[in-house]
Every structure is written in C-alpha cells, then in structure tokens.
Structure 1
C-alpha cells in the first residue's frame, strides 16, 4: 500500500487530521492498534476547547458534538473553604464542550 501521509492513532487529532487532508485532496491512511468498534464506542477527548469545537463544525463533523455535547462556560474549584471560578469562556474565547 502506498499513501501520501500515514497518521498514527485514530484518536480525535488523528481522525481530524485525516479528514482535513482528505478535504484538501491529500491521500492518507490512519493506523490504529485497536479495532474500529473500540474506537467508535470509546469516549476520546472528553473536553473540547472552543477552537477545536469550531474546527469540527467548520469541517462538517460537529453535528453529533452539538447534539450530545454539554457546554461548559467555567469550572468551580473549592479548597480551603473558598470557591474559585475558572472562566473557561473568558480564557479561551468561548465555551468548552464535553
């Protein structure tokens, strides 16, 4: 088998890269040690930063994320009896999605 690009790992980064290359007319193959069923059924990348979510939407693969994902605008951490808010939306320019 000959290909222009070999991508190691069918995680979110590898699959997104393969999709982007395909859209640009670049042939690629994704190599993954696990079975297709395992990859499709397992949660990978539990939290997506705003710009990653936008990239998935822009490339046409964000429908399931938007349908099933939970939007997180921030996180509250509590220690020493005080609550500390981390504003994900303010820090990253948008909400995170799980």
Structure 2
C-alpha cells in the first residue's frame, strides 16, 4: 500500500530538480522515494547548520588580506629549514 505526501517547495527549486532528474534519466518521484528510503535507513542524514555571517569590519579585513595575498604582499618567504624560519621571525624583534 502506498501513501501520498504533499509538501510545498520553491518553484525554481522544483524545476531545477525535475530538470536534473530528467537529465539523469530518472523520474523525480523516484528521486524522492529513494531519498526517503535513504533517510529512514540512516544512509541520508539531515543536519541544519547556520551559515556564519561576518560583520562588516571582519569582512573588510579579510578582503584586504586576500587582496594582499593575490598581490604577493606581506608574505613570509619559503624556508629550507626551521633554523632559517626562526631566524626570520627573530629579525622582527
């Protein structure tokens, strides 16, 4: 015996899912059935994780640092051994 499940989903998301299922040669209903079975069996785990948001100051600092890295600024040189690295760090005293 089967049962019908009805739920709402964003139209664009549904269209994208249908398109992908069609491209892979599988009915979208089969995708949903397989996902449900995987969830019940423990093969699919759903976790809700909040996306961390940076404040404006931190975002600006990280963008600036990324720009400097791309430009090759404020980077330490490569070292052949630990002694050279320690000497380099001590030179900033």
TM-score scaled by length of structure 2: 0.22
Name which one, 1 or 2, has greater alpha-carbon Rg: 2
Greater strand proportion: 1
Using CA pairs under 8 Å that are at least 6 residues apart, name the structure with larger relative contact order, 1 or 2.
Answer: 1
